[in-house]
Structure 1
Amino acid sequence: MIPLLCLILVGIHEAVAVTHSLQYFYTSSSGIHNFPEYVSVGVIDDVQISHCDSFTKTSTAKQEWMNSVTDEYPLYWQEETTTCMKNQLDFKMNIQITKERFNQTNGVHVFQRMYGCEWDDETEEVKGFEQFGYNGEDFIAFDLETESWIAAKQQAFTTKQKWDHLKHIREYEKHYFTMECVNWLRKYLNCGRNSLVKTVSPSVSLLQKSSSSPISCHATGFYPNRAELLWKKDGEEIHEGVEKGQILPNNDGTFQMSVDLQLPSGEEMQRYECVFQLSGVKDQITKLEKTKIRTNKESLMMVIVGVVVTAVILVVLAVSAFILYKKKNAKRPPSPVENKEVQQQMLPEQKA
């Protein structure tokens, strides 16, 4: 049963089904100067909600609405900090033993743990995941369906054998991923609904550098980033002659993206349209008309400069993502409830 945390809008169902996710990333590193040896990050629907590292030694909220959890759990952040400091010691041991298993001593190395769950708010389908990684590659992961551990590296086989024989750990993992994690996910969604579930439609422009250049459909200012931008011809989506760009962040927290169309010579423009799609929002359609195409070079350069700036931001985020592992412990309130007995049996063994 979910505690009465953040009562506003509890029970309201979205008109459009959405899959929500709660993820935690724990990272230990060695050989990286001026970077914390341990970092923990909580993320909900791609939005960071918490942070702690070995430099600050304090777990803090990254979204203002996350502070409301103390209404139900007054010691939330103090306990999160305690967990962070404990994990720092455990993971420092983990990375050292993992290096030994790979016969490595010096150099840059990163050991990570990622876990969490996904929940479909319409079907109630739940998916859980937990995996460990070393130097950006899979090391060992938990398979919720078979309730067993999958060793991605030969060096992880010893750990797999150990954990597969710990029945109470497997049972706890299943309970956590199918129930406890989802309960916390719902709580956080209720607390941050105004921010997490909001949708913002973009402004859409048609841009063309020259008469022979591709026509770029550029959408900017939308939120969240789970959006789609595509070209249609006679009402059907097309792929030939279409080049889609990445979704990039804007400075105000919104996003932008572009999709280019190389219009075939002699084709009638009115047969084409650019369509922006965002879950829960009516499709935004921009008809391809010559009068709508902006060819002013200054305006185009302003857009390009904006993309370059956000691309730099994306590179920084990509580097951070490497440190935080790839997109997937405290299993106790605050971040899900932690079973200390389980942790004591798992982490020391995963000292690798």
Structure 2
Amino acid sequence: MLSEKDFIPKQYTSFVQTGSFEWSAPSNIALVKYWGKKENQIPANPSVSFTLNNCKTITKLGFEKKENNGSFSFNLLFEGKPKPDFRPKIEKFLQRVEEYLPFLKEYHFTIDTQNTFPHSSGIASSASGMAALAMNFMSLERLLNPDMDDAYFYNKASFLARLGSGSACRSVKGNVVVWGEHKDFEESSNLYGVTFPYVIHDNFKNYQDTILLVDKGEKQVSSTVGHDLMHGHPFAQQRFEQAHDNLSKIKEALVSGDLESFISITESEALTLHSMMMTSMPYFILMKPNTLEIINRVWKFRRETTIPVCFTLDAGANVHVLYPENDKVKVLEFIKNELVAYCQNSQYICDEIGNGAQQIA
């Protein structure tokens, strides 16, 4: 397991004047949720997620050596146009990672980024966006240090992404990623995500995730505020213990192919996440009436058909409907016939498990 000091480079052996890279990085959906964090984006409990395939951010990084090394210098484009309201988040990210990427003030950067999903869809883009940016910066560092091996490259990319957005560390690799120290995963770390180290049962190969866009508006409560409300939460300690237990249980389900256990843990985790929000002080409710309608219809459909379809939720109103690939036709028919009516503008996105960040030639 690597420490923070391992990510501080000693010296660079090469020189680079100018160039560019382009990477895509996907969003991810947590099965066992992380809610609550310590200083420097350290999770209060471990989590595990499916890396998605279609919902991703594509970021091109151009770089050019500059004479004045006194400050960060970058242009930021979103879908080809300047996006000034994104600048503070990038500036904060650069400040956090400068210790680990000491070359940052030596270059002027052009960051050109876009999402494959609508920015206003209510799908969190910070995870995919920060992961894509971290991959690009690591590609530049690899030019400066050509002896870097792949394991270090990906671990440090995940480490850097985490400093931009906690869950971004789970968007670097696929297809199931563990973040946070846990007794069942020897290589697990609070500093970066690691690929699930066990053989996953065929039941979960190409697992499907159809995202129902119930509410595409901005979140009422930012993730940062929500995580902070776990400090002093009356049920925080029990929740952290529950997450550890559920990670052990879902590990067994993923290995054995036990869909029933997978469903009960995944749905319980989603409802627990929202119950922690409802019992914090101040309290808040991010689910909408249509979220609850969808959940009830998923339960009814599963009961009547015995098809192993389930739901999970992020910290918002949208519903991720999870199911095996061999049930795709029947579940999509059910979604179109019964659930689309509860989506904003009838919008939904079909996705599936993916392999993590990819460099674009």
TM-score band w.r.t. shorter chain? under 0.3
TM-score, normalised by the number of residues in structure 1: 0.24
Larger Rg: 1
Q: Which has the higher contact order (CA 8 A, sep 6+)?
A: 2
Select the structure that is richer in helix. 2
Select the structure that is richer in strand. 1
